[in-house]
């Protein structure tokens, strides 16, 4: 369905919509590249016990492209979705860049968050340096440095260039490299280069939540793949050190996507965490 949220039409899906169960709002990663398909595939598995809300953020997927594409705006959109769905409190979830927004939401709206689930994300922009080193040292593929710089600095020229640069770095993401899967992902990705460019040329430079995370009051599960190249385990360890009620789980046979590469174990881990949180409320 399409819902008008803060002056922008968002593509939203509600899974497991039944009264009396906790609500999860899951934010996808990769602004300008990501879509609700990723959280639908992972958090949608929990729709037997939770009301799961997934959506294309403004400037991504099938949603409209009205700016601004700031963290503040994306956080405001999440809270407007919460109000639209009628939930007093939510489980806020996010993977990769979506984890940035999930943490920003938990900082801005602590009373609205019953729990937080993070996946392969970072508390600041220090992961950029780590990711660059990992990409250039990869034995899997030889990265075209010009394309790498354009996508990582938010200076891609248009949607076609974003697709070209995205295809260049996609082989780095999974624990087990499958060229056919990479080609399929590149084909299925919705491209919004202006959103991507703003996120990586403007937002990333100012992104640093380390001083705010000790004030997060929600119990937090942090999941990460052992072989994640772009937000390595050290990034999740930093988050775990800063958020008081946090649990870190490392998935040993995953890259950036344990929710897909070790889907059953990841689902069981999230279920156990959420069941424990809501059993004490």
Among 200, 223, 252, residue at a domain's last position: 200
**For residues 168 and 185, what is the distance between their CA atoms, to the nearest angstrom?**
12
Q: Domain boundary residue among 154, 169, 200?
A: 200
Question: What is the rounded distance in angstroms from the CA atom of residue 148 to the CA atom of residue 124?
Answer: 20
**4 alpha-carbon distance from chain centroid:** 22
pLDDT of 202 reads 97
Residues 232 and 185 in one domain: no
Q: Of 169, 200, 231, which residue constitutes the final position of a domain?
A: 200
Does residue 109 share a domain with residue 38? yes
Do 6 and 108 share a structural domain? yes
Residue 110 C-beta-side C-alpha neighbours within 13 Å:
10
Mean pLDDT of the chain: 96
CA dihedral 48, 117, 83, 56 (to 10 degrees): -90
User: Rounded to 5 degrees, what are φ and ψ at 277?
Assistant: -60, -50
pLDDT reported for residue 32: 98
Separation between Cα atoms, residue 222 and residue 33, nearest integer Å: 23
108 and 52 within one domain: yes
Q: 173 is in which domain, residue-wise? A: 128-200
Q: Are 161 and 193 in contact (CB under 8 A)?
A: yes
Span 53-102, pLDDT tens digits: 999 999 999 999 999 999 999 999 999 999 999 999 999 999 999 999 99
Q: What is the pLDDT of residues 99-128, one digit of tens each?
A: 999 999 999 999 999 999 999 999 999 988
Region of residue 136 (phi > 0: left; psi between -120 and 50: alpha; otherwise: beta): alpha
Q: Are residues 10 and 72 in the same domain?
A: yes
Answer yes or no: is pLDDT of 250 > 70.
yes
Give the residue from 96, 119, 98, 116 showing the smallest Cα distance to 107.
Answer: 116
| Number of structural domains the chain divides into | 2
Together in a domain, 100 and 214: yes
């Amino acid at each position: 369905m399409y819902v008008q949220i803060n002056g922008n039409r968002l593509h939203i899906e509600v899974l497991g919509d039944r009264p009396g169960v906790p609500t999860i709002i899951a934010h996808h990663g990769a602004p300008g590249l990501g879509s609700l398909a990723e959280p639908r595939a992972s958090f949608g598995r929990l729709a037997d016990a939770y009301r799961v809300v997934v959506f294309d953020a403004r400037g991504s997927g099938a949603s409209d492209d009205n700016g601004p594409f700031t963290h503040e705006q994306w956080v405001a959109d999440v809270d407007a979705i919460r109000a639209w769905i009628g939930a007093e409190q939510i489980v806020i979830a996010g993977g990769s860049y979506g984890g940035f927004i999930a943490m920003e939401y938990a900082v801005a709206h602590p009373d609205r968050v019953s729990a937080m689930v993070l996946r392969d994300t970072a508390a600041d922009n220090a992961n950029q340096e780590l990711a660059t080193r990992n990409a250039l040292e990869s034995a899997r593929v030889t990265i075209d440095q010009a394309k790498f710089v354009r996508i990582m600095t938010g200076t891609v020229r248009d949607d076609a260039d974003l697709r070209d640069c995205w295809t260049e770095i996609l082989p780095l993401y999974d624990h087990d490299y499958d060229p056919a899967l990479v080609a399929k992902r590149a084909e299925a990705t919705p491209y919004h280069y202006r959103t991507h460019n703003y996120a990586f040329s403007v937002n990333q430079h100012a992104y640093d939540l380390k001083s705010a995370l000790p004030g997060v009051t929600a119990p937090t599960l942090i999941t990460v793949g052992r072989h994640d190249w772009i937000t390595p385990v050290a990034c999740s360890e930093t988050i775990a050190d800063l958020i008081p009620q946090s649990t870190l789980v490392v998935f040993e046979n995953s890259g950036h996507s344990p929710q897909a590469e070790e889907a059953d174990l990841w689902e069981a881990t999230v279920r156990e965490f959420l069941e424990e949180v809501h059993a004490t409320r």
